[in-house]
Structures are given as structure tokens and as C-alpha cells.
Amino acid sequence: MLSTSKVVFKDYTPKENLLFPPNLSELIDERHPVKIVSNIIDGLDIKSLIKTYKPGGTSCYHPKMLLKVLIYGYLSNIYSSRKMEQALKENIHFMWLSAMSRPDHNTLNRFRSERLKGEIKAIFTQIVLLLEKEGLVSLKTTFVDGTKIEANANRYTFVWGRAVKKHKERIAEQLEELWNYAETVAKDELENTESIDFKEVDSEKVTQTIEKINEVLKDKKVASKVRQKLNYAKKNWADNLEKYKKQQELLEDRNSYSKTDTDATFMRMKEDHMRNGQLKPAYNLQISTHRQFILHYSIHPNPTDTKTLATHLLGFEESYHKAPKELVADAGYGSEENYNLLKSKKIKAYVKYNYFRKDQKSGQITTSQNNPKLAKIREKVFKLLNTSKGIKLRKQRSHDVEPVFAELKHNKNFKRFMLRGKNKVEVEIGILAIAHNLKKMSKAA
């Protein structure tokens, strides 16, 4: 027997006008992360940020609204200002956050890259102190680790410190060769000339020396190759040395930088899809965590973690006006300098050293005949790491700080910065760290 019942569909009249438009807030769950973002940002003190605005002129979008949009964008894996602009027109959560305002991508990007410079760290710190007040984190025990994030820079426009040094040495050598040649041809004219140190040359010295050589060889019979080299040297060497001087100033103590982001250093990346250990312009991000919340972050040009700890700890102290009581880190931080630093700050160092795993297997502490002080430090660290608390913290480290990097890089797919320059990169990390903490806070609520 065939069924006579009809299929019934729910009412669907998309073109029907609503007499009373719904309140967007009613369409969003109270426990949704967007409401956590809004509530937390509303409670922040942003007087310092507001002071960056000058009175007069046309009205501006409120900084709290723009800050909410940026943070929720990063929380939702949206990092492009153009995509945020689109979301403000299409996404109900963004529309509710902005109260139906529609700042364009230029406004969002200017706010992110200009207004938040020097302000984002204070905003981040306020939120961490709120998390501490709620009992979600503690500033006494911190887990420290670092990761490399690719810079928004061209991978093939680079400057290498060794190359700059080599080019300068080559100019000095060739200048000395030209001077020696001039002495053989016009010895009498150069007899009373002051001796020249060719080990250290600058643009002024090169210019003066080339002029002197040209002057004494003016009426002499000179090989065409020498004349060509002198002409080339006169036109290029002084300018080249000025260029190398500026490059060395930008390098400071680094071995490289990218021409399109001079703050970025070339580093070997683990996430290299070619699996050939390719060097890429990047920044070394250091974070301190507790219960997988980010307590502090800092950006460094150093490819290795060893030399980042002092600056990272200084930033922590500047933010919270105190140092942590305990610090847990892997062997990448286990240098004599770092152990002494932590001791001077009265921080208990649960920090492995290079031979810790080997010593665990053998049961004997690796000695250092050349450095007996380091041997004593290792002995103390070995004992501390093998206490019941040391074992607990060592195990907790791999479950605390490392999952944060997994969340940022893999779940949030943040593997490359959008902005260029260390100051702007720090703003991006600040927004990302706030977004990470608020997302975790919404899950804990």
C-alpha cells in the first residue's frame, strides 16, 4: 500500500522583511569565545593607547573595537586585514563585535602596525594578571622554550656577514697591490709618503690613496690592466666600502639579514617542506608558559636559544616587576652563563645541560677538565633534576610549552609573519598570544 503522507519542510522565506530585526547578541552563545574577547577587552585600561590619538579632525573608530576585531581575527585563524574586512560584512561574530561598523583593511592594518607598537605588551600583561587573579596561571613557575617563525621577507635577497668581511679584505688587498705597483714605477715620488695601514681601510682612505696613485702614475707608462683597475677603483671602491659599513651596522653581531626585512636573520627551519635544511629569513620566538597559557613572549635575531634567556627574563621582570621562582627549560639553555644568571636572580633552575641524557643512562656526571666550575654546576643541576619535583617538572615541560607551539603553528597555521620589522612582528605575536590565552580561557569557563 502506497503512503499518502506529504513531505513537510520548515518555513523558508529568505526575501521576507523582518518587522523587528533580531539582536545579534541573542544569536551568539554566551560561552562563545567572541563574547570572552569582548568582555575582557571592555575591562582593560587602554588610556596609554588612547593618548596616541590626536584631538581634532574627523572621528576615529574606537581602539577597543579595532582591538577586538584583530584579536578575534587571530583567534579565528584570520591574519589578513583584507579577510577581516570581508568578515566584518559577512560573519555574524565580527558584525556583533564591531557593532556593525565596517573599518576597511587599511584602517585595520594601520591600527595593527602603527597604533599598537609599544602598546600591545602592556595590554597582554593586563590579561595575564587577570588570568593569575582568576587562578588559571601562576607566575612562580614558568616553562621556557623557543621556535623559529619565518619572516615576511624575500628568501633570495640576503646579506652575509662573512661575504661583507671578505669583500672589504679583497679591496684592501687590491689597494695594497696597486700601491706596491706604484712604488715600483714611481719610487722617488712616493719616497716621503706616510706609511699606509692596509688592514683597516675606509672610503676616505681609499679615495685618498687612489688619488695619490693616479697622480704619481699620470705621466708614467702603465700596463692597461692596472689603468683599468685604477679607474674601476676610483668609481666604485669608496661607495662599496660605505655600503659594507652600513651592512655591518645592520648585522651587528648576526651572521646574516634579509634585504627586505633587515631585522630578520637567516635560520635553518625545521618546518622546511623541501626537507633539505634550507635557510630562511626568520625570527626566534621565545615564550614562557604555565598550564599552556602564554605568560611572556620575546623576539630575538639569534638562531639558537642559548643567548636569548637573559633578554627574555629581563622582559618578564619589566612586565611583572618580579622574576619567576622556578624556571624549567631544555638543554638548549644549559650554559654556564645562564646557570649563573638564574642563580643571581634567585631562580631555581630546572634546566638540562647537553650531557644530561647521557648522564642519566650512565649514572655518572660528565666532568669538564677545562672548566671545573661548570662541572660543579652540572652536579648540582643533575641532583635537582632528579628530585621528585625535578622529575615532575621535566615531564610537565613537554606537556606545557611544546603544545603551545603546536597550537600556534599547526592548529592556527601561523607559520609566517604578515608584517615586517621586529617592532611590528612583536605586535603580531602580542595579538596572537592574547588570542591564544583568551581561547583557552573560554574553554576553561
| 16-55 per-position pLDDT tens digit | 776 666 788 888 888 899 999 999 999 999 999 999 888 8
Evaluate whether 393 touches 142 at the Cβ level (below 8 Å).
no
- Annotated domain spans of the chain: 24-115, 120-156+261-442, 159-257
Question: For the residues of 162-190, what is the DSSP string, one character each?
Answer: HHHHHHHHHHHHHHHHHHHHHHHHSTTTT
pLDDT recorded at residue 188: 62
| CA nearest to 114, candidates 182, 60, 43 | 60
pTM: 0.89
pLDDT recorded at residue 57: 78
Provide the grid cell at 11: 518555513
Number of continuous H segments (helices) and E segments (strands) in the chain: 17, 8
- Residues of the chain with pLDDT > 70: what percent? 92
| 333-368 per-position pLDDT tens digit | 999 999 999 999 999 999 999 989 998 888 888 877
| 162-193 per-position pLDDT tens digit | 999 999 999 999 988 888 888 777 666 665 56
Average pLDDT in the chain? 89
Look up residue 26 and give its amino acid: E
Average pLDDT value for residue range 251-278: 83
What is the C-alpha separation between 81 and 69, in angstroms, rounded?
A: 10
- Residues of the chain with pLDDT > 90: what percent? 66
| 5-18 per-position pLDDT tens digit | 777 656 756 777 76
